[in-house]
Chains A and B, each alone.
Chain A
Amino acid sequence: NAGVMQNPRHLVRRRGQEARLRCSPMKGHSHVYWYRQLPEEGLKFMVYLQKENIIDESGMPKERFSAEFPKEGPSILRIQQVVRGDSAAYFCASSPTGQAGDTQYFGPGTRLTVL
C-alpha cells in the first residue's frame, strides 16, 4: 500500500517564477492537508481540502498561494511569483475521511529553494 507521494522532492525557482507542488494521497484517502516548515521552525498548517473543495484555508497566505484537489489527479499547491521567504519544506498529509479524530499520514515533502 503506497504511502502519500509528493513530487518533485526538490524544486528550485528564481524569484518571480511559479512553483507547483503535487501531492497524491494514500489509496482510499480523499482528504488532503498541506503544511509548511520554514528553516529551523515547526510545521504550520496551510490548507485542508477534500475532493473538489477547499474546507479550511485559514493557514494560507492571502496572496500568491492557492491549492486545489480536483476530482481526478493529485492535489496541487501553487505559489505564484515566488520570493526568497517561500523557501521551505512543504508537506502534504492525507486521511481517509474528514472525521476529527482521523489520523493524518504525511508524505516525504517538497523542498522549495528560491534563488
Chain B
Amino acid sequence: DAKTTQPPSMDCAEGRAANLPCNHSTISGNEYVYWYRQIHSQGPQYIIHGLKNNETNEMASLIITEDRKSSTLILPHATLRDTAVYYCIVRDRISYYMDTGRRALTFGSGTRLQVQP
C-alpha cells in the first residue's frame, strides 16, 4: 500500500471547518483513500473513503485531487468532540486470486486535531 504523509498536528476553532490534508504521491490506480479517527484511547472510527471522485457523508467530505496524489478531509463544522487523531490510509481495492493476505490497515502517525472553544 502507498505511503501517506500528514501534518502532525492542527488546531481549529469550534464551529469552523477543519481541513485535514494528506499526501499520497505514490498511490496507484487501484488504491482507495480511507480516513479513520481515534478519539482519545477509543477504537478507531471509520469516517469516509473514496477512489477518485469527491465523497460526502454525514460525518465529513473527502476531496481527492485530480491526479490523486493528495486529498483533504473536511469536517464542515468542527465541535469539541471532533478532537482526535485523524489517519489517512491508502488501501488496495483489488483482491488478487490466492492473495488473501495484506488486508491489514497500515496506520501512520496521523494528524492530531485540537478543536478550540
Contact = CB atoms under 8 A, between A and B. Distances in A.
Contacts of B96: 100
Interface stretch (A66-74, A77-85, A101-109): A101-109
Interface of B: 32, 34, 36, 38, 41-46, 49, 91-96, 100-110
Interface residues of A, number: 30
B71 to A, nearest CB: 16
A1 B103 CA distance: 24
Overall SS of chain B's interface: loop
Interface of A: 4, 31, 33, 35, 42-45, 48, 55-56, 58-59, 89, 91, 93, 95, 98-109, 111
5 contacts: A33-B103, A93-B43, A93-B44, A100-B103, A106-B44
Contact of A55 (B34, B38, B91, B101): B101
Contacts of B95: 98-101
A59 B41 contact: no
A45 to B, nearest CB: 3
Contacts of B103: 31, 33, 48, 55-56, 95, 98, 100, 102
